[in-house]
Structure 1
Amino acid sequence: ICTIAAFIGLLAAGRTINVISLAGVAFAIGMTLDNSIVVIESIELKRRQGLDRFRAAVEGVRSVWSAVLASTLTTILVFLPVLFIVEEAGQLYSDVAVAISASILASMLVAITLIPTASARLNFGTENRAPGESKGRRRVLKWIDWLIATPGHRMMTIGVTVFASAAVILLLTPPAEYLPEGEEPKTFASMSAPPGYNLETMSVIGLEVRDNFLPFVGDDPQRFRSGETEVPAIKYLNTRISAGGMRIISQPVDAGDIDALMDAITARYRQYPGMRAFAARGSIISSNDGGTRSINLDISGPTLSVIYEAALATYRRAEEVLGNPRIQSSPNSLALSQPLIEVRPDWARAAELGLSATAVGYTVAALTDGAFVDEYFEADDKIDIYLYGTSGGRADLDSLGGLPVYTPQGEILPLNAIATISETVDSNSIRRINGQRTVTLNVIPPQTIPLEEGVEIIRRDVVDYLRQSGALPASINVDISGASDQLDATKSALLVNYPVALVIVFLLMVAIFRHWGYPLLIMTTIPLGIAGGIVGLALLNGIGAVLTSFGLNGFHQSFDMISMLGFLILMGTVVNNPILIVDRAIQRLAEGDGDNEVSPLDAVRDAVSSRLRPIAMSTLTTLCGLSPLVFIPGAGTELYRGVGVIVLFGILGAAVVSLTMLPALTVAVLEWRVKRRKTGSNRESDLLTTHS
């Protein structure tokens, strides 16, 4: 029912079914059982106390209604700040938020309607039967009782938990990435030729490169693993050759060999002097140029020669400090050495003849390389129309000055009569950003260097270093943009919206508990759950590193913006178990009256004992629901595995904290409140005695 509700929610919100929204549905599967488990356990407890099935169903729901409502609304409303994140990550978050929210809301409705109805109608045969006390349950309760028995034990439990969590957050939090690549096991590898190369020369080089890799198409992957070949088996090989370079689109037979294939192609490219090589993996999220890990250095200044010198120095320094980065420049060449024929019109003479700048340029283009006229469609095929001279786009440069130019007056003049023609060397393209001449370096750090760390290295060891050494003069401006800009913007949005989520959770619990202090007590588990998520991410990457060291296919899960969504989910879910314990402890404390007064320690003991089974069951079901997303590899798993591992270990850590630190803290707080109440009552009694 709840899974169907997730799809209905996606439909109502106008969302599509994609790998992100399906991940949200999968996350919700384990979480939807929590409310039903709590309600069933409460009903069973009432039946064991001697109530009939119908009365037990009503009283069971009534006793946990506030806790179920609080846990449901905190899980749903914690996603409200996602609506205000306008960056790409916010759009991805919203799909997960809609799927989870719809499922959890449906789970609450099922828990308070369908579950008690079924319990009242079906006889489970548990009336008046004492709850089973397994050896494991007794050991857990005995251990918890020791932790909360004395003030010293309670302070030790609280101190150790807080210290360990703070150490985890400070020491194990990794540098951030922007978004996962959603990488496909294919490479887009480009080779840029230096100035002066023509199509004939590049065709020879391109065929040599192609012939080098063709023998490995359809090869046995085992030959590469055994060291017989230096190139992995290739599934297919597509090449495109132009005068400025070539591009290969290829995919290995074994997806795990993609990095080796990229290295083999770039190594082959670099065997040709002056060639620049760049390779990136395909991506379902960004462009196929490392978009979610790219660091763009926009180098601008007043003169091209100074800009190109600074860009070349930056290029070489980045290669040196980053180890083996993938760097692409725009324009491709970082030297003003492209042979050019410069046609400079005599504007006064052209004006006399009625020739505009557009007309002169179009005429020269048509008589040399060809000029674009228009396009038309033949069925689904688009056909471009070009205008050429009689030479058909192969004009002889020596006869360029004699090309006929037709004037509006009907005269035919040679080109050199209205323009000066000269040979020069310069750049074949000029890139401008905000009107300034600019060279852009697209730097993709190695996989071992996270984006956040890579940005810091470039800022400190490249830009600042070159400034201090004088390689970047004061007239040159360097801006860092690309995915690094988007990372900073998304982090800033999260830093604003995470506190908003905490405030929403707090105010919601204040409204439900009608108390300002108890919600703060419950929310102490949130940072501890976050610490558990960070531990899980570190353990996952540690296992991946161990597998790699043994020559197996390892893995690495980056700490990206989608993974950080796990923290938002944890804010709404880790409070569920504490709500059960604190709510029951408050109820138990309120039941005491006069001679039957219940101490805070006994109230917490009873709360832990009665809520231990639903906490264990809901935690286990959630862990089982998330485990396939985390531990079963497959295409696209890097998109949601980070969220899964953070939520999985965060909930596991929160469950442990809910049964250790939280009871100790709850006893301490309740004892302090009882003591303060008694002190106030004694003062009031003394005051009345004095007046009388």
Structure 2
Amino acid sequence: MSVTSSIVETSTRRPVTVFMFTLALCLFGFVLLGRLGLTLLPDLSYPTLTIRTDYAGAAPSEIENLITKPIEESIGVVKNLREVRSVSKAGQSDVLLEFNWGTDMGLAGLDVREKLDIVRLPLDVPRPSLLRFNPSLAPIVRLSMSRNNTSNSLSDSELIALRRLAEDEIKRRLESIEGVAAVKVSGGLEDEVQVLVDQEKLSQINLSIEQVANRLKAENVNLSGGRLDEGSQQFLVRTINQYQSVDEIANSIITSVDGRKVYLRDIAVVQQNYKEREAITRIDGVEAVEIAIYKEGDANTVSVSETLRKRLEYIEKNLDEEIELKELYNQSDFIQSAIDEVLLNALIGGILAMLVLYLFLRNFKSTLIISLAIPISVIISFNLMYGFNITLNMMSLGGLALAVGLLVDNAIVVLENIAKKKEQGLDDVTAAREGTIEVAGAIFAATLTTIAVFLPLVFVEGIAGQLFSDQALTVTFALIISLLMAITVIPMISAFGARKGFSSIEPNDVVVDKRPLWRKVLTFPFRLLFILIPMFILTIAISFFQTTSRILGFLMKFLVVPFNAFYSGIENIYSRLLPWSLKHKAAVLIIALSAFSSTWLVLQKIGVELIPSLSQGELLVELKAPAGTPLKDTDELMIQANTIIRNISEIERTYSVAGTGNRLDSSPEKGGENRGELNIVIKKPLSEEKEKRVINELRKSLEVLPGIEVKIDKPALFTFKTPLEVEISGYNLAKLKEQNDRLVKLMAENDRFGDVKSTIQQGHPEVQIEFDHEKAAFLGLNVPEVAKQVVSQIRGTVATKYAFRDRKIDVLVRVNEEQRSSVEDIRRLIVNPTSEKPITLEAIADVKVAVGPNEINRISQERVAIISANLNYGDLGEAASVLQSMVDELPSVPGVEVNVAGQNEEMKVSFDSLKIALGLAIFLVYLVMASQFESLLHPFVILFSVPLAMVGAVYALFITGSTISVVVFIGLIMLAGIVVNNAIVLIDKINQLRKAGSAKYAAIVEAGSARLRPIVMTTLTTALGMLPLALGLGEGAEIRAPMAITVIGGLLVSTLLTLVVIPVLYSLFDRKD
């Protein structure tokens, strides 16, 4: 007895065992469903680590040579490292490490830290910090904190209080949440104790800014003096010397001159004020504090957001009623909505598939038995998804939704064969056993052909591999489980009607009850109860089943009659079409060949992109004023832009940030105050057309702002590059800029490209100090020491921390504002305050105003200029071709190389590997079929259904206006495994009839007529199961719809042509009669 026969035999003989085992797997599936992670898509962002190093006062070129290069050289040998990018800015170095998918980031982090420990950096450079996220990604949650008052502005004291609360209460409690990488607070006013020194008075007592700062630091300290034992009492000895007030700081003794004490108040103004503002945040035009939460690179967005919301609920309970904490944006809302839409589509698809089954079978019981395959297969699949660490995402759930129609195919075949056996006079148990065993081999082969297309997964690279893997595995799991369902649960239910009980005791066996009479009497009521309760429940269940059947049967009559007429028409047409086709083979083949050939013309008109863009209902508008624009002017610009934008009717809410705000990739010293960001929330319902319309209106509306660069983008869900990027590499920055400017001009003149930006931008205006080393040496001055003096006087030095209301406030020491407010003031700074004769900066240095470099980008340890652009119209493939022609027309510059990159580069890698995967999938399907038929010819004939399916897929994409993307390619690979099943059923029946003695022509005609019904049934169940996905409704539809459209279009056209073309090809190729 074969394994399959043994399984079927057990299922019919021991139904309780099968039922309990199935129930247990379903229960485990339900439990594990709650433990599966929830994401929008499989992780499409490469795992990243960022090495950030701050070096105050250093220019970009110094940062590059002293910090960035040594770090790049050191970490270049880290395992699984995919790409190294870096940005050297004024005062900061960021080295971004991208790792291959599947890398253990814990071990990778240890490896990177080990390499950093041996890097030789300047002694005064702080230790590099390692961030487990990409700082260029948008935060997953944005919060606003404001006061519930009627005024349109907040006072300084209110802004300080809000900032304190955000820093002390909100930030601290959110940073401890697992998966949160960083919490950044922006807006409001931040406390600071300012010590504003008069440099002339300081020079008179021969002290420097550093000495004053060191004195304050030494005064503000608590120390432990050990322990004192006096008799039986033990004391701790401590020196209490921390500042208790600002006045105490002002009364600090700095030095003595001629026996007279010099207090800090004698040479400086000491005041509690606020730091220089880095950002001004406004919610609908009113100032507020913004809190941005960033997640770790490999953290789950939804689970982190859920934990954040629970923590925020607790925090809000403890806030004053006047404080309003509002969620501005939560990335998980979009993800949750998209996942809910997939689940709803799968449910509707399942109902439609059941409806088709009922219309064909016209038997509610049979429909219900077959339909059980859908929920049971899906629920049990959750066990395997958990074991393989697959999250619930649009691809995995979309795979289950696409497979809804396929899951019933095996059950249909088994149940129909069992029904035929019953018609032949066999009892229920025997019919169930023999009917299942007879078709087990066929359904195993059919399932294997569908699964085989997913095996080339291992050869798929890039984003396609990440997208494909979850869907491939979930579909495979569901189909395998549906196969097991077909050979266990279906025969068990079919045989159940003949079973009168579940005991294995034979009728002639006699069981003697030896219990005493009194025990029998006492236990009789309980025994009766245990009999009556199950009978009552069973009676209710049967009554409900029968009532439901009658109601549904009555309702379905209105559909059954027109459906019968429709299907009878199909049968009549096909009964005449098939004989005609066999007599006019040439005409049929010419029509099929013409249809296939026409697809190549249609393909040229279909756009190409990497992955469809998702409409999230939010847009980011980045405004950039001329370099050097102060924060106050940028804020006025943001108010003006916000007023203009609010006139657009489809915008629900706006919030703006002037300055660096919550951007973690901004330079700490420059490039921030002239930048602003407007976040725009679009009114629901969302659609791609509405989003494009709003973007166009925004561009037109903001044109009235003179001299302002505008870039419109969407919140980044993944670390995708922009659609188009050009990397110009070379060492010479002047030559890079020359080639960069040429290409930027060409792209800006072409209206196809929008938001053209380059990393080589207009530099920031700066005061440059060039020292005369000879003069400095003659006057006995050390240039590095003088440079530190200048930095301390202008930017200041944080001397110590002042304990204020359980918080630590910076005490900043620097020259007062009147002595550093202009370039002339900088020239008159005293650079030798500890000497008797003061020397000003202009005596040893040339102080001039110039434009300095902005930043230096590097990729794979080579300098690059990166030009990025979005598309105003057209598709990515066409735009990449236009851009490549522009690059080819550029004059050659020695030492400079130009390469078109961005999403186009990733698209090429993904498409090339998908083409190979598609070819391998078709080959594997052929292998499975050849093994099944023990023939090389018949599988070859069946494979013609694949190009026929491509005809339907291409025309479906063209008619619906969809583009060819990675998602569509995945649909084509799925299609290759699905469409051959109809041809397999048809060819298999022809072979059976010919073995029974029928002539070739008669066998083909009879097989076509006999297999029309199951072929149409399985095609409609599969197509209608995917129909809700193809309609493209709800969040995330941009990704779901193209795949479903591809499969439905290919399946419907392939079925139509298979019923005609495959018989014609069979009659031509198979010469035996």
TM over 0.5: yes
Indicate the SS of the match to 2:620: strand
Deviating more after overlay: 600-609 vs 137-146: 137-146
Alignment correspondent of 1:161: 592
Q: Alpha carbons of 1:500 and 1:525: their partners in 2 closer, same or farther (altered >3 Å)?
A: same
Hey, what's the Cα distance between the residues in 1 that align with 2:607 and 2:977?
A: 24
Hey, what's the Cα distance between the residues in 1 that align with 2:838 and 2:1029?
A: 74
Give 1:591 shift.
Answer: 2.5
* Aligned with residue 453 of structure 1, among 865, 878, 888: 878
* Aligned with residue 273 of structure 1, among 679, 682, 706: 706
Q: Does 1:518 align with 2:949?
A: no
Alignment correspondent of 1:180: 612
* Aligned with residue 464 of structure 1, among 875, 884, 888: 888
Hey, what's the Cα distance between the residues in 2 that align with 1:435 and 1:350?
A: 37
Give 1:279 shift.
Answer: 0.4
* Aligned with residue 624 of structure 1, among 1024, 1042, 1047: 1024
Give 1:584 shift.
Answer: 1.8
* Aligned with residue 674 of structure 2, among 234, 244, 249: 244
C-alpha contact (below 8 Å) 2:729/2:862 kept by paired residues: yes
Give 1:52 shift.
Answer: 4.5
Hey, what's the Cα distance between the residues in 2 that align with 1:630 and 1:88?
A: 22
Hey, what's the Cα distance between the residues in 2 that align with 1:149 and 1:281?
A: 56
* Aligned with residue 142 of structure 1, among 550, 568, 575: 575
Alignment correspondent of 1:679: none
Give 1:196 shift.
Answer: 4.1
> How large is the Cα RMSD of the aligned pairs?
3.6
Q: Alpha carbons of 1:601 and 1:201: their partners in 2 closer, same or farther (altered >3 Å)?
A: same
Q: Alpha carbons of 1:154 and 1:235: their partners in 2 closer, same or farther (altered >3 Å)?
A: same
Hey, what's the Cα distance between the residues in 2 that align with 1:517 and 1:115?
A: 34
Output aligned runs, 1:410-559, within 5 Å: 415=841, 420-434=846-860, 436-446=862-872, 448-460=873-885, 462-465=886-889, 467=890, 470=891, 473=893, 476-541=896-961, 557-559=962-964
Alignment correspondent of 1:80: 455
Alignment correspondent of 1:93: 468
Can you list the C-alpha shifts for 1:554-604, whole angstroms capped at 9, x where unaligned?
A: xxx332111211011111111111111112222222222xxxxx2222222
Indicate the SS of the match to 1:204: helix
* Percentage of matched positions with identical amino acids: 25
Give 1:25 shift.
Answer: 1.8
Q: Does 1:35 align with 2:410?
A: yes
Deviating more after overlay: 508-517 vs 634-643: 508-517
Q: Alpha carbons of 1:433 and 1:558: their partners in 2 closer, same or farther (altered >3 Å)?
A: same
Hey, what's the Cα distance between the residues in 1 that align with 2:454 and 2:798?
A: 52
What amino acid sits opposite 1:299 in the alignment?
I
C-alpha contact (below 8 Å) 2:615/2:691 kept by paired residues: no
Hey, what's the Cα distance between the residues in 2 that align with 1:621 and 1:372?
A: 72
Give 1:613 shift.
Answer: 1.4
What amino acid sits opposite 1:644 in the alignment?
A
What amino acid sits opposite 1:239 in the alignment?
S
Alignment correspondent of 1:590: 995
Hey, what's the Cα distance between the residues in 1 that align with 2:999 and 2:1057?
A: 22
Hey, what's the Cα distance between the residues in 2 that align with 1:529 and 1:374?
A: 74
Alignment correspondent of 2:638: 206
Can you list the C-alpha shifts for 1:284-319, whole angstroms capped at 9, x where unaligned?
A: 3x35xxx46520112345654554444333233223
Indicate the SS of the match to 2:766: strand
Indicate the SS of the match to 2:390: coil
What amino acid sits opposite 1:463 in the alignment?
V
What amino acid sits opposite 1:246 in the alignment?
G
Give 1:355 shift.
Answer: 6.7
Q: Alpha carbons of 1:424 and 1:154: their partners in 2 closer, same or farther (altered >3 Å)?
A: same
Give 1:212 shift.
Answer: 2.6
Q: Alpha carbons of 1:514 and 1:409: their partners in 2 closer, same or farther (altered >3 Å)?
A: farther
Hey, what's the Cα distance between the residues in 2 that align with 1:573 and 1:411?
A: 91
* Aligned with residue 399 of structure 1, among 825, 837, 840: 825
Hey, what's the Cα distance between the residues in 2 that align with 1:90 and 1:581?
A: 34
Q: Does 1:235 align with 2:652?
A: yes
Indicate the SS of the match to 2:856: coil
Q: Alpha carbons of 1:207 and 1:103: their partners in 2 closer, same or farther (altered >3 Å)?
A: same
C-alpha contact (below 8 Å) 1:354/1:408 kept by paired residues: no
What amino acid sits opposite 2:714 in the alignment?
R
Hey, what's the Cα distance between the residues in 2 that align with 1:384 and 1:454?
A: 53
C-alpha contact (below 8 Å) 2:952/2:1052 kept by paired residues: yes
Between structure 1 and structure 2, the one with the greater Rg is 2
Hey, what's the Cα distance between the residues in 1 that align with 2:798 and 2:855?
A: 19
Indicate the SS of the match to 1:274: coil
Output aligned runs, 1:277-288, within 5 Å: 277-284=710-717, 286=718
Equivalenced residue count is 612
What amino acid sits opposite 1:503 in the alignment?
F
Output aligned runs, 1:45-56, within 5 Å: 45-56=420-431
Indicate the SS of the match to 1:325: strand
Deviating more after overlay: 402-411 vs 39-48: 402-411
Scaled by the length of structure 1, what TM-score is found?
0.79
Indicate the SS of the match to 1:184: coil
Hey, what's the Cα distance between the residues in 1 that align with 2:788 and 2:692?
A: 46
C-alpha contact (below 8 Å) 1:563/1:640 kept by paired residues: no
Hey, what's the Cα distance between the residues in 1 that align with 2:837 and 2:444?
A: 88
Q: Alpha carbons of 1:119 and 1:658: their partners in 2 closer, same or farther (altered >3 Å)?
A: farther
Hey, what's the Cα distance between the residues in 1 that align with 2:656 and 2:951?
A: 48
Indicate the SS of the match to 1:90: helix
Give 1:356 shift.
Answer: 9.0
* Aligned with residue 580 of structure 1, among 979, 985, 1005: 985
Can you list the C-alpha shifts for 1:251-286, whole angstroms capped at 9, x where unaligned?
A: 2224343333323333343323332211013353x3
What amino acid sits opposite 1:249 in the alignment?
N
Alignment correspondent of 1:253: 683
Instruction: Name structure 2 gaps, 5 residues minimum.
Output: 1-375, 499-563, 660-672
Indicate the SS of the match to 1:443: strand
C-alpha contact (below 8 Å) 1:368/1:395 kept by paired residues: no
Indicate the SS of the match to 1:431: strand
Alignment correspondent of 1:658: 1058
C-alpha contact (below 8 Å) 2:453/2:924 kept by paired residues: yes
Indicate the SS of the match to 1:559: coil
C-alpha contact (below 8 Å) 2:972/2:1047 kept by paired residues: yes
Instruction: Name structure 1 gaps, 5 residues minimum.
Output: 124-131, 217-230, 542-556, 593-597, 676-692
Hey, what's the Cα distance between the residues in 1 that align with 2:1068 and 2:1041?
A: 38
Give 1:370 shift.
Answer: 5.7
Indicate the SS of the match to 2:656: strand
Q: Does 1:668 align with 2:1055?
A: no
Deviating more after overlay: 164-173 vs 476-485: 164-173
Hey, what's the Cα distance between the residues in 1 that align with 2:1054 and 2:797?
A: 68
Give 1:647 shift.
Answer: 0.8
Q: Alpha carbons of 1:369 and 1:28: their partners in 2 closer, same or farther (altered >3 Å)?
A: farther
C-alpha contact (below 8 Å) 1:270/1:276 kept by paired residues: no
Q: Alpha carbons of 1:438 and 1:244: their partners in 2 closer, same or farther (altered >3 Å)?
A: farther
What amino acid sits opposite 2:750 in the alignment?
V
Give 1:485 shift.
Answer: 0.9
Q: Does 1:633 align with 2:1033?
A: yes
Hey, what's the Cα distance between the residues in 1 that align with 2:857 and 2:633?
A: 26
Hey, what's the Cα distance between the residues in 2 that align with 1:296 and 1:450?
A: 15
Indicate the SS of the match to 1:660: helix
C-alpha contact (below 8 Å) 2:752/2:874 kept by paired residues: no
